[in-house]
Amino acid sequence: MSQQHSAAPAPAIATVARRRDWWRDAVIYQVYPRSFADSNGDGMGDLEGVRARLPYLRDLGVDAVWLSPFYASPQADAGYDVADYRAVDPMFGNLLDADALIRDAHALGLRIIVDLVPNHSSDQHEWFKRALAEGPGSPSRDRYHFRPGKGENGELPPNDWESIFGGPAWTRVADGEWYLHLFAPEQPDFNWEHPAVGDEFRSILRFWLDMGVDGFRIDVAHGLVKAEGLPDIGDADQLKLLGNDVMPFFDQDGVHEVYRQWRHVLDEYAGERIFVAEAWTPTVERTAHYVRPDELHQAFNFQYLSTAWDAKELRTVIDRTLEAMRPVGAPATWVLSNHDVTRHATRFANPPGLGTQIRTAGDRDLGLRRARAATLLMLALPGSAYVYQGEELGLPDVVDLPDEVRQDPAYFRGAGQDGFRDGCRVPIPWTREGSSYGFGDGGSWLPQPASWGELSVEAQTGVAGSTLELYRAALSARRAQPDLGAGDAVEWLRAPEGVLAFRRGEFVCVANTGGESVTVPAYGRVLLASGELTEADGEAKVPADTTVWWTTA
């Protein structure tokens, strides 16, 4: 047990406004703590740094803050390998810092959502260390997936499953048994068939709910339950099947009983606390299973995140998403970037895939122009939206990090994911100058480009047309417009090829994804535009890669 446990502070008393069903239209800002703000000059962001910047997030106009993991961890996978779920890692602070952050956020009208990692622990978790020490056949091993190997001497893995980070999903220990890890070897998977695992996580939920958090983002929410018998997959490219097919280790129907039990726990607490699922599923229809009325509240829309900047493809995924969520009464969610994918300012510079190479200044300008347009489109859609730290500054991925500074475990395994997640995790800039552009006084754990200063909060604040001011204006208008936010439908309007146009009551959005300007009706008073447009004689000329908001009121 961590020494921090005995110093747990009293529960936070939330003064945040209690708006019913707030989560149905919330804009939720993801903070990656190690890269947000460093309060003590050690080059690593921390909870006190986040706390000091909360007024910035309030003024930006978001409703809630989602914190990526800050728990005690050896940091083999940037904190997604948790050694103690009830302790704060010293690199980020302590439980008193977490308590102060939650209280300050509530006083500013912000809600706090914390990451929960229930699929796997760290190999330094007390349970796993005990399982190794007690050996084969011990009750402690039943809390994980330990198996004898195949082959004459057990020298082969128990099945053919592959790690998401590349290589076998099994590691052999000194006594000859193998344990399952769908991610890095330092992240052994829990066995959710064991009742102690469920008991432990319901206790963890209550610990943080008593601290005052407003909800949980559930990491690998689709992965907890494995198919009975852990069957082989066969001769298939498993990595290409991920997110495209039901796998024996992902999206198993048994996972839903876990979340029904969790929902009972959450409903014990006042204030509309919520669950958000990171659930990579083959279809939005299967994603909807996670947000049935007695399970979770939201699930990330990865189909939308993975869609190219193309009007036809976007309309298809928007329609399918709204249709899938409608029967279960859950809000759609929309997201363009996070800590695991190439930032959309870079992704859209190199269509149609998810490439990371920006070749010219023209590519950078194209990516940013499309990113701004995509943001206004996303914020106009019915439901809840997620913003990843730094996207409001138009930050691109940092694609030229030296090999020696990289920390993504997928990079070192040489297969699986592309291993370049470090590029979207570079600490964000706050000021034009300084050793880390205002991130902290002691540099930054990943090097920042020389261009970071001109993309900083300081450089963009108050500058008409800057990406930061566009986000501030969009979030303000979204809050002020009665027809934006929650809902489950859009009314599509006739539009030229390559253009999305829809109405929501007295609000109209037009997004030109094509490479040429188009002429559309001037639908009313312009609220906001991601680029320059001209209006004359009842018509509007919308430039390429531009989104416009109108009100007909």
In the β-sheet with 499-504, what is the strand arrangement from edge to edge? 491-492, 499-504, 507-512, 546-551, 525-529
Distance CA 531, CA 221 (A): 38
Are β-strands 274-277 and 64-67 bridged in parallel, bridged antiparallel, or unpaired?
A: unpaired
Helix (H, G, I), strand (E, B) or coil at 325: helix
Strand partners, 184: none
Distance CA 184, CA 171 (A): 10
> Residue 262 belongs to what H/E stretch?
helix 255-266
What phi and psi values does residue 518 have, to the nearest 5 degrees?
A: -130, 155
Q: Tokens at residue 203, please?
A: 């206790």
The alpha carbon of residue 109 and the mean position of all alpha carbons in its chain are separated, in whole angstroms, by 21
- Cα angle: 209, vertex 211, 217; to 5 degrees: 50
Residue 14 near residue 99, CB atoms below 8 Å: no
State how far the alpha carbon of 330 is from the alpha carbons of 135, 223, 302, in Å: 45, 21, 16
Q: Cβ-count burial of 392 within 10 angstroms (0-12 exposed, 13-18 middle, 19+ buried)?
A: buried
Q: Which of 268, 365, 454, 535 is catalytic?
A: 268
State how far the alpha carbon of 185 is from the alpha carbons of 80, 153, 161, 226, 259, in Å: 12, 22, 13, 18, 26
Q: Is-catalytic flag, 152?
A: no
Distance CA 494, CA 442 (A): 54
Q: Is-catalytic flag, 219?
A: yes
Find, among 368, 396, 392, 447, the residue nearest to 35 by Cα.
447
84 residue type, one letter: D
Classify each residue of 367-390 as buried b or exposed e, where b means 16 or more C-beta atoms within 10 Å of its C-beta: bbbbbbbbbbbbbbbbbbbbbbbb
Residue with tokens 């302590």: 94
Q: Which of 38, 99, 214, 219 is catalytic?
A: 219
Write out the catalytic residue numbers.
Answer: 219, 268
